[in-house]
Structure 1
Amino acid sequence: MSDTQDRINALERENEILHRRLNDGENACIRLMEERKAAEERLGLARAIVENSPVMLFRRRAGDDPALEYVSDNVRAFGYEPDELLSGTLKFEDIVHPDDAGRVEEEIRRHTDSGSDVYTQEYRVLTRSGQERWITDRTVVVRDEDGQALYHQGILTDITRRRQAEEELRRNEEKLKRILDTAAEGFLLMDLEMRIIDANKALLSMIGYSLEQIRGKTPVEFASPHFKRFLLANWQELTAMEHRRFEGSCLHRDGHHVPVLVQGNILRDENGAPEGHAAFVADISEQKKALRLAEEVQKSLMPDSTPHIPGLDVAGHTLSSAEVGGDYYDFIPGEDGLNVVVGDISGHGVDAALLMTTARALLRMRATSPGSPRRLVSEMNRQLSADLDGSGRFLTLFLVRFSPERDRVTWVRAGHDPALVYCPHCEAFTDLGGSGLPLGIDSDTRFEQNQTELLPGQIIAIGTDGIWEAASPSGEMFGKERFRDVIRNHADLGSKQIVDAVFRAVLRFLGDVRVRDDVTLVVVKNGDRDASQPSEA
């Protein structure tokens, strides 16, 4: 009985072990099925990605019979069925563009002979409908343990759009180069250090050198001495500007100077980072000739001599920031005394010079008739307001009339800085002030007329803001205090010597910096009552 029970217990234990093994096997089977399902899903996803991408997969045998063993289904994008290529009905070389077939075959042979394991080609294929498509072929060589090539496999990527974009870019670059090469203006392409990379024919003709002779050099090396000093003094400021525009002169290879207008800018990449500089350089020789003629005409309109008024020592001078300027001064004798005028047209250049000429004609025409300074300025303002309406231009003016007896002065200030009066006896300055808008703004402006006594030895200086607003290389302004100091220190000299001293001081203060605004100064020095001659002019 006990043997039987023992046998039953043993069978039950075996049964439990079998059940456990069966459960373990079932669980393992389930895991395997789940893993297989996941792998199939991943494979399906990979196939979907491949089939819907411009990338085609291939595998072909190595050796003398390079038959395809695999090609992805998305070869249908070219109008071909995978079975055509796999069965040999259609060979891959048959769809390579005839103009590229020889090159492709030669490249494959060269890579094979050299033992390359990876190589890339770009070539065209023809779709079934005859369209050209550019592809990149990246091939990897699969070898056995002895190093013998078994397969060539890899990916084909349709790069037609990229090649079309590159071709369009190439055509645009060629078009741009033709435009630049045939442009009348010179063109410079430079790196971040302002070293020349490229230049067009107009620029090379402008300086008389070949591209090989100037490549790697900076524009400073082809500047005239004065322009070179300007560039070196302002180099950091100029190269940091996003856009820059200035005039200068190049030094031609044969030694003559070529006046130029330079318009440059910083070149930036697609991320906005600076990658170089570009500049258009225009030869303005003809414009300069015209401006020199205009300058001669304008100078002819300035007083060619100082008036000889017994007891009055009169002198004036102007320095334009351009060939022609907008500053104006004049001496106009009349029945009621000597009229001394200083004006400043807004802006400078040819248009300012034309306005100055108009203002001079109006003033001289009116000043020869009787009338007060206020009436003279008011009539001039009405005419200029009509002429300048909507232009944004205006004229500041200071007119002072010296009585025939030289015992008083009458003046009108129209938006101009007050004239300075220096008395050497008391060593003090006073202003000839007063209210009044510039001319050309409002035709109904009422101008204030003032009068004061004129004492022997007094000096009256009427200037434009180009004097005290002149800026040194560091940006510091000359200022009115320096202006007063020069007058005070030279008060014992004649008017012309005082004017010359002021201009020397301003130019010395500027250093290598060009005058940026017109500079004009008139000085009248009242002599003793019995004086009969002005100082040496």
Structure 2
Amino acid sequence: MVAKGLNEEIKKKNSEKRFRIILENANDLITIINERSEYEYLNETAHLKILGYNREELMSKPALEFVHPDDREKAVIELKKAFEIGETSVELRLKSKSGSYVWVDAKSKSFIDQDGKRKLLGIARDITDNKKIENALKESEEKYKNLFKSIPDGIVTTTMDGKFLSANQAYLNMLGYSLDELKNMNFQLITPEKWREVESEAIKSFMPEGYGTFEKEYIRKDGSIFPISLTAWLIKDELGNPIKMAAFVEDITERKKAEQKLRDSEVKYRNIIENTMEGYFEVDLKGNFTYFNEALCEMSGYTREESQGTSFSK
């Protein structure tokens, strides 16, 4: 019986030794603290690596003293919660020996020790790099949002079947709709019927390349119609499958007015030239005739067809 008891004791000590080796070599911060927030155990190797403190430096102060001042109130609340309900999880910053702060994801679970006292087992993982990436993404998103809001042209995203997902303020101003109104619509509803087939064919044509530009018209909320130039592209998932469409949209009303004004001016100019009694001609940079008015044809005896493309020098 004595030998059996001795063997059990040896097995127990060996088991405890293996368990302690595992704890001491873990990459995460592992601690046991009491209800006064004092350390009763910590794995020194991980704490030295992540925070730079040895066991004595940490055990000499309450655990909360190493928590960032802005996170301390949150830490107190979560510790209290862990002791009351059994477990909790929180992200906070711990001060390292160098003075910088390390972000950790801390999970705690309460237990009763062999003396009947409630303690808290804590496991904290270093997530500083994740936080840096997260902050960089937030900054990038903020820059994108500011660009999205401030760019003068309309920007819009839709599902593959044309339902609106997002739009910047310039696009909303262009049409007179709110974003909530647009989200209950698709782009066919703001497209005059005569343009729907044209648009459908344009979208099909740029599917292989993933982008394309075409012109069409839009219908404003007040019913007025105006011309736009639309540059659209596909947004694809990680497998390369199209999942959304996005587009830059420019109101080209003024450009179309200018083009029409130029055409009207050219017609007026041609009418004046055709009806003048004096001969008039135009040549290209190589000296070839490109235009004769009727008066010059009568003077020269050549028809327009005979003169077109012949050299001025001949």
The TM-score with structure 2 as length reference comes to 0.74
Whichever structure has more helix as a proportion of its residues is 2
In structure 2, C-alpha distance between the alignment counterparts of 1:79 and 1:69, rounded to whole Å: 19
Alignment partner for residue 75 of structure 2, among 101, 104, 112?
104
Spell out, residue by residue over 1:264-306, the C-alpha distance to the aligned partner (whole angstroms, 9 max, x if none): 11113455444422111111111111111123244457789xx
Q: For residue 90 of structure 1, give the secondary structure of its aligned residue in structure 2.
A: coil
Does residue 126 (structure 1) correspond to residue 95 (structure 2)? The answer is yes
The equivalent of 1:80 in structure 2 is: 53
Does residue 377 (structure 1) correspond to residue 309 (structure 2)? The answer is yes
User: Aligned runs of 1:451-490 on 2, under 5 Å?
Assistant: none
In structure 2, C-alpha distance between the alignment counterparts of 1:92 and 1:176, rounded to whole Å: 40
Does residue 164 (structure 1) correspond to residue 132 (structure 2)? The answer is yes
Does residue 186 (structure 1) correspond to residue 154 (structure 2)? The answer is yes
Alignment partner for residue 121 of structure 2, among 150, 153, 170?
153
From the superposition, tell whether residues 375 and 226 of structure 1 become closer, same or farther in structure 2 (CA, over 3 Å). closer
Alignment partner for residue 245 of structure 2, among 251, 258, 277?
277
Q: For residue 177 of structure 2, give the secondary structure of its aligned residue in structure 1.
A: coil
Spell out, residue by residue over 1:214-253, the C-alpha distance to the aligned partner (whole angstroms, 9 max, x if none): 124222222233234534x538726845112111111111
In structure 1, C-alpha distance between the alignment counterparts of 2:287 and 2:224, rounded to whole Å: 38
The equivalent of 1:136 in structure 2 is: 105
**Residue 375 of structure 1: how far off its partner (Å):** 7.2
From the superposition, tell whether residues 235 and 46 of structure 1 become closer, same or farther in structure 2 (CA, over 3 Å). farther
Structure 1, 235-244 or 248-257: larger mean CA deviation:
235-244
**Whose Rg is larger?**
1
In structure 2, C-alpha distance between the alignment counterparts of 1:181 and 1:291, rounded to whole Å: 30
Alignment partner for residue 65 of structure 1, among 36, 41, 64?
36
The equivalent of 1:247 in structure 2 is: 215
**Residue 260 of structure 1: how far off its partner (Å):** 0.8
The equivalent of 1:257 in structure 2 is: 225
Does residue 95 (structure 1) correspond to residue 62 (structure 2)? The answer is no
1:206 and 1:258 in contact (8 A); partners too: no
1:244 and 1:265 in contact (8 A); partners too: yes
The equivalent of 2:3 in structure 1 is: none
How many residues are matched? Answer: 284
From the superposition, tell whether residues 106 and 248 of structure 1 become closer, same or farther in structure 2 (CA, over 3 Å). same
Q: For residue 254 of structure 1, give the secondary structure of its aligned residue in structure 2.
A: coil
In structure 2, C-alpha distance between the alignment counterparts of 1:235 and 1:138, rounded to whole Å: 55
In structure 1, C-alpha distance between the alignment counterparts of 2:220 and 2:181, rounded to whole Å: 13
Q: For residue 194 of structure 1, give the secondary structure of its aligned residue in structure 2.
A: coil
In structure 2, C-alpha distance between the alignment counterparts of 1:151 and 1:359, rounded to whole Å: 100
2:192 and 2:217 in contact (8 A); partners too: yes
Structure 2 residue runs without a partner (length 5+): 1-6, 273-278
From the superposition, tell whether residues 141 and 216 of structure 1 become closer, same or farther in structure 2 (CA, over 3 Å). farther
From the superposition, tell whether residues 69 and 273 of structure 1 become closer, same or farther in structure 2 (CA, over 3 Å). farther
Question: RMSD in angstroms over aligned alpha carbons?
Answer: 4.0
From the superposition, tell whether residues 45 and 110 of structure 1 become closer, same or farther in structure 2 (CA, over 3 Å). closer
Alignment partner for residue 207 of structure 1, among 165, 175, 188?
175
**Residue 70 of structure 1: how far off its partner (Å):** 2.2
From the superposition, tell whether residues 155 and 379 of structure 1 become closer, same or farther in structure 2 (CA, over 3 Å). farther
In structure 2, C-alpha distance between the alignment counterparts of 1:221 and 1:85, rounded to whole Å: 67
2:83 and 2:118 in contact (8 A); partners too: no
In structure 2, C-alpha distance between the alignment counterparts of 1:92 and 1:361, rounded to whole Å: 94
Does residue 289 (structure 1) correspond to residue 217 (structure 2)? The answer is no
From the superposition, tell whether residues 275 and 302 of structure 1 become closer, same or farther in structure 2 (CA, over 3 Å). same
